Chain A
Amino acid sequence: MPDKTMTADEAVSRLRDGMTVGIGGWGSRRKPMALIRAMLRSGVTGLTVVSYGGPDVGMLAAAGRIRRLVAPFATLDSIPLEPHFRAARERGELDLMEVDEAMLLWGLRAAANRLPFLPVRAGLGSDVMRVNPGLRTVTSPYDDGETFVAMPALRLDAALVHVNRADRRGNGQYLGPDPYFDDLFCEAADTAYVSCERIVDTAELAKGGPPQSLLVKRHRVTGVIEAPGGAHFTSCAPDYGRDEEFQRTYATTPWPEFAARYLGGDEQTYRAAVGRRP
């Protein structure tokens, strides 16, 4: 039985410059932040990032690792505007494919189903079409004759997601109210790295929640990373809520100072610096 467990640094060492990387979660909710911190420690750069953006996007943008971003927004939820995403855009440094929330979903769904595109109604009439001149439309061959955006598949080289529980083979379980799109990110990717609050025996998964909480299937998973507090400072219900105070620190501290204070060492050092027990 293959054991896919690895450290965050081992997972990130498999990423290559220029890859297209999908990041799970939503805004400042259940983001794979321990994996993002490992990316910041590594030199990996020139990435195309696909994300319902939160501080994952902000940190990677602040560190200059994103060549191109595919996203409908970047927000910290309780703080509406993501400060580093915003700064990077206002400096004109961030190449952005700005798409609607539903377009991103259908782009992932197309990739997961190995389709070149899927038709979506969203985007027509809006400036999403102006700022993405490469987007094409498709007309229904049936009697309705309606025209849609042909949302291209967002095929990923790698997906990074964080869930509450996983076993060593890569079966991942969420225990909060919303799965977000983490299963879809894994299905749209050639490789997927799943960090979790706790690795448990396979038999424990079904005891921990109903079958429909078993979100990520092992056949799409390359690596499993045990990372307690691995979504910090985003929320990871029901294990913990968002660390609002630390998020405010992140949003108000100049990036070089924040990075030096919290991101210079390994994950243990980070946890000690933010005052969380290992």
Chain B
Amino acid sequence: MTEVTRAEHCVIACAEEWRDDGEVLASPMGVIPSIGARLARLTFAPDLLLTDGEALLVTSDGTVEGWLPYRQHLTLVTGGRRHVMMGASQLDRHGNQNISCVGPWERPTRQLLGVRGAPVNTLNNPTSYWVPRHSRRVFVERVDMVCGVGNDRAAGARYHCLRRVVSDLGVFDFGTPDRTMRLVAVHPGVTVEQVREATSFELAMADEVAVTRAPTPAELRLIREVLDPGNARAREVAG
């Protein structure tokens, strides 16, 4: 078996985010989180619900087990039985996220998607983020438009829950006293210094920064032969 790639470590790190969630909808956005969610479902988190990316709930082999059009999806979001892993064009140390636009909102230098469902997601169900290219442009001091609500802006929001951030360099939580972003693990081959250099804000550190675990042989086979034989993961994270 060839050496485990960075993309495969990222798949494992993403999959781990849904480990103890039970019977909730896993909503991965992006290639690697999607592989991760399906891997979790096939192995240690069999009760997860997954969609086909549109209106159907499907089992691991693609069998339809339910119907989830957008209108019901939005109720599932506000009902809280969901753990979403969204992308982020910008993220700050409090976990505020931006996917709407870069520059002044009135006249953006770069218009992106719009807020989409980030406000409703972050106020209603557990939210994690996935950043395939960790850089100072993403991990910023202050986001230009708050779409996903960070911990410093969530006073009184009873269902607000930011879980983790996974990037191509490491894994982060919000486990400091003021609930700011903290490095908890680096992927094999990544140094803490590398993560610091790629982050604009001052990053808190866990007492012991762990190393992302390697996939088991069975997991590696599932990733390579069942879930992503076309190696789409390598186009999202190189190496």
Pair B117/A101 contact, Cβ less than 8 Å = yes
CA distance A105 to B78 in the complex (A): 13
Complex: chain B residue closest to A100, CB-CB: B119
Residue among B110, B111, B118, B145 with most chain A CB within 10 A: B111
> A143 an interface residue at 8 Å Cβ cutoff?
no
Per-position contact with B for A87-114: 1 when CB-CB < 8 Å, else 0?
A: 0011110000011111101000000000
Pair A89/B123 contact, Cβ less than 8 Å = no
Q: Nearest Cβ in chain B — how far from A240, in angstroms?
A: 15
| Residues of the B chain whose Cβ atoms lie less than 8 Å from the Cβ of A179 | 69, 71
Q: Nearest Cβ in chain B — how far from A163, in angstroms?
A: 14
> A71 an interface residue at 8 Å Cβ cutoff?
yes
> B156 an interface residue at 8 Å Cβ cutoff?
yes
Pair A102/B74 contact, Cβ less than 8 Å = yes
| Residues of the A chain whose Cβ atoms lie less than 8 Å from the Cβ of B107 | 89-92
| Residues of the B chain whose Cβ atoms lie less than 8 Å from the Cβ of A26 | 70
Counting contact residues on chain B (CB < 8 A from A), the size range is: 35 or more
Pair B70/A181 contact, Cβ less than 8 Å = yes
Q: Given A121-B124, A125-B157, A177-B69, A105–B116 Cβ distance below 8 Å?
A: no
| Residues of the A chain whose Cβ atoms lie less than 8 Å from the Cβ of B154 | 125
Per-position contact with B for A121-148: 1 when CB-CB < 8 Å, else 0?
A: 1111111101100000000000000110
Secondary structure dominating the interface of A: loop
Pair A178/B69 contact, Cβ less than 8 Å = yes
Pair A89/B111 contact, Cβ less than 8 Å = yes
Pair B70/A178 contact, Cβ less than 8 Å = yes
Complex: chain B residue closest to A94, CB-CB: B111
Per-position contact with A for B61-99: 1 when CB-CB < 8 Å, else 0?
A: 000000101110010011000000000000000000000
Q: Given A90-B109, A131-B105, A125–B114 Cβ distance below 8 Å?
A: no
A-B contact count (CB 8 A): 128
CA distance A85 to B112 in the complex (A): 10
Secondary structure dominating the interface of B: loop
Q: Which of A53, A91, A125, A177 contacts B123 (CB 8 A)?
A: A125
| Residues of the A chain whose Cβ atoms lie less than 8 Å from the Cβ of B120 | 100-103, 120-122
> A74 an interface residue at 8 Å Cβ cutoff?
yes
CA distance A128 to B54 in the complex (A): 26
Q: Nearest Cβ in chain A — how far from B214, in angstroms?
A: 32
Measured CB to CB, the residues of A under 8 A from B are: 26, 53, 71-75, 80-81, 85-86, 89-92, 98-103, 105, 120-128, 130-131, 146-147, 177-181
Measured CB to CB, the residues of B under 8 A from A are: 54-56, 67, 69-71, 74, 77-78, 100-101, 105-120, 122-124, 145-150, 153-160
Known: A89-B108, A99-B115, A125-B123. 19 other contacts (CB 8 A): A72-B117, A81-B111, A89-B111, A92-B107, A101-B70, A102-B78, A102-B117, A121-B159, A122-B78, A123-B119, A124-B119, A124-B156, A125-B122, A130-B146, A131-B145, A146-B158, A178-B54, A178-B69, A179-B69
Of all A-B residue pairs in the complex, the 7 with the closest CB atoms, nearest first, are A73-B114, A122-B120, A92-B107, A125-B149, A177-B55, A102-B120, A178-B55
